[in-house]
Amino acid sequence: MNNSLNTPMNVPPMDPGILARLTGGLGDRRTLEKICADFGQLYSEFLPDVIHSETSLHTEVTYVGHETGSLGELTADLGDNVVLADASLRNWSPHFVLSCDNGFIITLMESLLGGLPDTIEEPIQRPLSVIELDLASMVFDKLASVLRSGVNAAGGFEATIEPPRNAEDYGRPEDGRDDVYAATIRMKIKLGTVESEFMLVIPQKALLKTKVTPPKSKNQLSRKGKEWSDQIAEQVRRSQVTLEARIRLEQLTLGIVSRLAVGDVIPFRDKGDIMVDVSANGKEMYRCEFGRAGENYTVRVKDNVSSDDEILKHLMG
């Protein structure tokens, strides 16, 4: 008796690309080009006004182009000299990535501290400091607000943005959410003489259901009365700084130093008031007087080595 009709057949799994295309997660080249270009137009028109309304700084934003691939691969391809943040927008996309060249954040920080944008040189490639990451969070908030205004997600929810991280500290999510097909939208932003890029890495499933509709008013994207320079100043005042104190000791010959043993005493160089150099992050800040209050050793500030502006600029870098 033939039992072949009762034997389950080994059906090969469907190609992931075909499955994604059937379920709205993978689009054709022409459709994606159109949607990404629409996003580029949205940011080119509205982001400079948002930044100017809150900082009085002039920027130029232009669309560069788009790339496609898996979200994880595209995120990794952004490079090492970028800052990234995972984000979500309810009723539009549960996960997308915002990114920006570190050079733009560094240049923006210098400009907010009083530097003239046209005189600021191309910054060196380095990770962002803690305070610069705070500024990146504000920049991403504006990028997300422009996106939200153009995609018209139902419910009017604000985007949720995780704390920005330097590329070296950004790890791939473990839940597999970055295995989906996505597109990177690349935008050039110019501040003074410095040109940088910011990027959005968005799942194609979200892009393909999106009709970009510019907001009716540019003013609705600005947070009135909240200037970034004021926020940065407040963050600087709340930032924790580790100070180091250095006391000069009496000069000794190399022979004596080589024979020092446990219990030996080395006197301070100064007689009377003992002077101490206080620094932070390698920057000398104050000349102080060494002393004691109760059970604690202390230093009393006697003189400023650096100006207030020099200290702030050094610590924020």
Is there a single domain that holds both residue 293 and residue 309?
yes
Q: Which residue has the tokens 């709340």?
A: 238
Is there a single domain that holds both residue 251 and residue 232?
no
Long-range contacts of 122-131 (CB under 8 A, 24+ apart): 122/193, 122/194, 123/194, 125/80, 125/81, 126/81, 126/102, 127/102, 127/166, 127/167, 127/168, 128/83, 128/102, 128/164, 128/166, 129/316, 129/317, 130/239, 131/232, 131/235, 131/236, 131/239, 131/315, 131/316
Is there a single domain that holds both residue 229 and residue 284?
no
Is there a single domain that holds both residue 56 and residue 90?
yes
Q: Using one digit for the tens of pLDDT, what is the confidence trace for 108-124? A: 988 887 778 888 889 99
For residue 84, which of 218, 199, 212, 239 has the smallest C-alpha distance?
A: 199
Chosen domain end from 222, 238, 254:
238
105 neighbors 123 (Cβ within 8 angstroms): no
Is there a single domain that holds both residue 80 and residue 163?
yes
How much is the pLDDT for 90?
95
Q: Using one digit for the tens of pLDDT, what is the confidence trace for 223-282? A: 544 566 676 666 666 666 678 888 888 888 888 888 889 988 988 888 878 888 888 766
How much is the pLDDT for 172?
72
131 neighbors 232 (Cβ within 8 angstroms): yes
Residue 187 lies in a domain: yes
Q: Using one digit for the tens of pLDDT, what is the confidence trace for 181-193? A: 999 999 999 999 9
Lowest-confidence segment of 79-83, 88-92, 122-126 by average pLDDT: 122-126
What is the pTM assigned to this prediction?
0.72
Is there a single domain that holds both residue 165 and residue 34?
yes
3-state secondary structure of 307: coil
For residue 51, give the CATH number of its domain.
Answer: 3.40.1550.10
Chosen domain end from 192, 216, 238:
238
Is there a single domain that holds both residue 264 and residue 159?
no
How much is the pLDDT for 40?
96
Residue 14 lies in a domain: no
Domain housing 288: 244-316
Residue range 197-212: average pLDDT? 95
Residue 189 lies in a domain: yes
Is there a single domain that holds both residue 293 and residue 228?
no
Order of strands across the sheet that contains 283-293: 244-247, 275-280, 283-293, 296-304
Residue 279 lies in a domain: yes
Residue 142 lies in a domain: yes
Chosen domain end from 186, 208, 238:
238
- Secondary structure letter of residue 94 according to DSSP: E
- Higher-pLDDT residue of 231 and 28 is 28
Mean pLDDT of the chain: 84
For residue 286, give the CATH number of its domain.
Answer: 2.30.330.10
Is there a single domain that holds both residue 40 and residue 111?
yes
How much is the pLDDT for 224?
47
Q: Using one digit for the tens of pLDDT, what is the confidence trace for 40-74? A: 999 999 999 999 988 889 999 999 999 999 999 99
Cα angle value 110/116/120 (rounded, 5°) = 65
Lowest-confidence segment of 199-208, 223-232, 239-248, 290-299 by average pLDDT: 223-232
In DSSP terms, which residues pair with 296 in a beta bridge?
293
Is there a single domain that holds both residue 127 and residue 181?
yes
Residue 6 lies in a domain: no
Q: Which two tokens stand for residue 121?
A: 């040189």
How much is the pLDDT for 225?
42
Is there a single domain that holds both residue 136 and residue 162?
yes
- Helix locations, the chain, DSSP H: 16-22, 29-55, 71-76, 102-112, 130-151, 204-208, 228-238, 254-258, 308-316
Is there a single domain that holds both residue 61 and residue 160?
yes
What total number of domains does the chain contain?
A: 2
